[in-house]
Structure 1
Amino acid sequence: MELGSMIQFYRTKNGLTQKELANGVCSVSYLSKIESGAIEPKPDTVELLFERLKMDYEKLTSYDVPTIHNQINQLYKHISNKQLDQAKSIVNELKEIITPFHDPDLQKYFQLIHFYYLIVQDTTNKLSMNLQELMNLEDTFKGEKLFYFYKIVGFYYNCHLNSKMANQYFHKAIEILEEQNLRDPEIYYLLALSYMGMQKPVYSNYYVGMALEQYANDLLYRKVTDCYHLLGINYLNLGAFDISETYLQQVLQSKPMGDSPTVHSRVTHNLGIMHERRGDLDQALKFLHDALEHHENLYDVAHSTIMIAKIYFQKGEHHLAEEYIKQGESKLQGSNLTKIRHRFYILKHQLYNKTHDQAFIDRAENVILPYYKSVGETALTQELLELLAEVYTEKQEYEKAIEYYKRLTNINN
């Protein structure tokens, strides 16, 4: 990067005019010639200019393209390992160093990995504008960087509960992984996670097994524990409750992962769901209330809250169901957790016996069902299809009821 362009960039970034920067250092015309590249300034003049710009000239000039590229690689590793303090330090450094005058490919690579950092830093942030900008860069990435691109975009969709889209991008990433002979066990874990979200536990178990084998070989026991947790959820969804409980209890007893508040609360939540499916509603409530007390993430809070409300509804304790529905809806205000919002909407209408209202039916058919389909949410689709079939049966609109029972049968097959 040319010295004059660098000075002009940081001067503009600091909101200084040429006159303000040159004052007491050199003439305005001399500075203008420096910025245009017409002259080579004296070293002492350069030092004074950068001192006024509050920039370390030696540090700036020590960052050549290979050095910056290596820093971006380090940033990716820190993010993947959830070392966000180290990642933040590198992000701040690179944002200061990289300018529009650097190699375009380098800028795009940083934009990609910086997007990854933003997602991991706050998984509830939609970053839709950043995603649209990033998608325009897809054709500019090749090889390993294209692998990162597909993996990161898939990770974005996974964080925002669109397992279907996440799954598509993770498969694209694995194609590149195999073509380029790369190694990354996390992509198999993420793919397994997306299949879990799509309620395809057999597929999920296949890929989590691939991730687990590589993590175990690398002695990454925290990651192994993550795999056990996912296996516990998958066996729960398969109805193999004893196997599920074995894996979930193994996670709780593992050190140090079992002591993590996030891990503890999520495993406890899943144990609550397991007991609910077994029909032991009181034990389910015990686990879910425990989870709710320790959750740190809004989605986790909302998920446990809807389950507690649902169980109270099943038990006929409608005043408590109503209380937790109100709590959940209040906490979700201003959030973008669409899937869980729909669940509260449906349960509230069930509680108030409003599922026969045309407004509810229209929303269920035209908004909620299409949304569930778009994100690959099979289990909730089944629940809603069954509810609509029952509603139309009770309304004696038998043709519509049969239509929904057929759709339900097709999903189950």
Structure 2
Amino acid sequence: MSIIGQALKSYRMEQGFTQEQLADGICSVAYLSKLENGKISVDQTVVMNLCDRLELDQTPFLIKTDTVFHDELLQWLSDIHIFHILEVDKRTPSIFETKRDAMSIDNQCLYDIALLGYYLMTDQLQNAATQCDELEKRPLLYQACDPFSFFKFTGMYYRRKGLYHNAIERLEQANDSYHEQEDAELYITMATVYSRLNNILISNKYAQLAFSIFQEKLFYVRMIDCQIVLGVNYSLVGDVYSAETYFQQLLEVDGEHLLDKTRANIHHNIGYINFRKKEYHDAKQSFERALTFNVNESDFLNARYLLAYIAMQERDRFKAKEHIQTGLIVANRYEHLRYKIKFRVLDYLLDEQTDKLVDYLEDEVLSFFETNREEIELKSYYYLLGQLMFDQKKYKRAAECFKRSTDGLVV
């Protein structure tokens, strides 16, 4: 079924028209309502006049859908979903040859959704940010076109941005809307987000589901990515020995067939294990190794953050400042709010700007991590604020913060 009606509804609502205002002099309100809900056949003259009133290009609403191109789009989208890089690269040139303005509204919407997935798959995060913003202007339209792809790709985007609460809402919606077969890429993304939210049992469940599917397909790179999530979860529950053993085994399979991102992840997580053991020399080597691979800097801001933290512990002010400034540049470039906040806190600590840090914690930091439902981060920043309040002899406020740092996030 065409989504012409849903597209008109989305643009109508975006521009603030009521059904009565849009229909006035063109058609009955009842007809417009049925058109928007896909319950009546399309009258081209009516659609033409509705487009004129909404100041929309009529062409996408009036031309016939190119079914051959539509099928090509569907195959491109399918390859993106399963991370089939070679097939995606093979089809991309012909997809991009067709101008978006020359597509029907149905093909435009499918193309828009697939393009977000393509940008994410190819690590074009700045393009992905622009594309996601476009989809979020008319979410009902894109949900009508392809709810599973819309929810999955926007969820994946929010995960890459560190907006974990937003991400898991979308990923769960994708999971609820898809009944054809299990989707391993969705599962591994959900496993990663649940790990970040410290929900280890659910994270392990989805990581194991994804691993089983990838194993059936002999997709070794993604099997290793699943194992990385499981290794991280060992570390998060305090089983550092098992986590270390896990990642050392993964390091041994580090070969030419692995993606740079996977290899960087292995080294980063070995560094994180050493960091938790306070073996800072080994941690630095692993973090620095992770940053040598050809990866998107935004995905490895945590390595840069922990390098800055270690430099501060070692009282190397110059190196700490260098990592903080580089981290802030990358976080600002990719509009990564989570790490803008984390590096800014380190910067205030390094420069001993206590009053500014207190205001920043109370005005922005705590609310961000509470909204994002990151319990561990929230506890740590409440504890930091408690220490600052105690130093300022504001004992009542300090006690409140220390209590929150032990109680955790109440959801």
TM-score with structure 2 length normalisation? 0.75
CA-CA distance at 1:171 after TM superposition: 0.7
Aligned Cα root-mean-square deviation (Å): 2.9
8 Å CA contact retained: 1:192, 1:203: yes
2:45 is aligned to none
CA-CA distance at 1:410 after TM superposition: 2.3
CA-CA distance at 1:390 after TM superposition: 0.7
CA-CA distance at 1:386 after TM superposition: 0.7
1:376 is aligned to 373
Deviation track 1:133-184 (CA, whole Å, cap 9, x = no partner) reads 424554446799321121111112112111111101111111122xx34331
The residue identity in structure 2 corresponding to 1:146 is: P
Counterparts of 2:236 and 2:299 in 1: how far apart (Å)? 18
CA-CA distance at 1:109 after TM superposition: 1.4
Residues 403 and 104 of structure 1: is their aligned pair in 2 closer, same or farther, counting only changes over 3 Å?
A: same
1:43 is aligned to none
CA-CA distance at 1:324 after TM superposition: 3.1
Counterparts of 1:299 and 1:119 in 2: how far apart (Å)? 12
Deviation track 1:209-241 (CA, whole Å, cap 9, x = no partner) reads 111122222322222111001111111111111
8 Å CA contact retained: 1:119, 1:125: no
Segments of 5+ residues of structure 1 without an aligned counterpart are 1-62
Counterparts of 1:119 and 1:260 in 2: how far apart (Å)? 15
1:212 is aligned to 211
1:151 is aligned to 152
Larger radius of gyration: 1
> Which runs of at least 4 in structure 1 moved beyond 6 Å after TM superposition?
none
1:195 is aligned to 194
2:75 is aligned to 74
2:184 is aligned to 185
1:279 is aligned to 278
CA-CA distance at 1:260 after TM superposition: 4.0
2:388 is aligned to 391
2:51 is aligned to none
The residue identity in structure 2 corresponding to 1:347 is: L
Match of 1:393, SS state, is helix
Counterparts of 1:384 and 1:183 in 2: how far apart (Å)? 38
Residues 82 and 184 of structure 1: is their aligned pair in 2 closer, same or farther, counting only changes over 3 Å?
A: closer
The residue identity in structure 2 corresponding to 1:207 is: Y
Counterparts of 2:251 and 2:400 in 1: how far apart (Å)? 44
2:164 is aligned to 163
8 Å CA contact retained: 1:292, 1:301: yes
Q: Of the two structures, which has the highest relative contact order with CA contacts closer than 8 Å and spacing of 6 or more?
A: 2
CA-CA distance at 1:113 after TM superposition: 0.9
1:12 is aligned to none
Counterparts of 2:123 and 2:257 in 1: how far apart (Å)? 23
Residues 191 and 334 of structure 1: is their aligned pair in 2 closer, same or farther, counting only changes over 3 Å?
A: closer
Residues 64 and 323 of structure 1: is their aligned pair in 2 closer, same or farther, counting only changes over 3 Å?
A: closer
Counterparts of 2:265 and 2:201 in 1: how far apart (Å)? 21
CA-CA distance at 1:401 after TM superposition: 1.0
Counterparts of 1:331 and 1:98 in 2: how far apart (Å)? 32
8 Å CA contact retained: 1:288, 1:304: yes
Counterparts of 2:143 and 2:335 in 1: how far apart (Å)? 33
2:246 is aligned to 247
Residues 80 and 409 of structure 1: is their aligned pair in 2 closer, same or farther, counting only changes over 3 Å?
A: same
Counterparts of 1:120 and 1:240 in 2: how far apart (Å)? 32
Segments of 5+ residues of structure 2 without an aligned counterpart are 1-63
Counterparts of 1:106 and 1:175 in 2: how far apart (Å)? 24
8 Å CA contact retained: 1:215, 1:221: yes
CA-CA distance at 1:101 after TM superposition: 6.4
2:44 is aligned to none
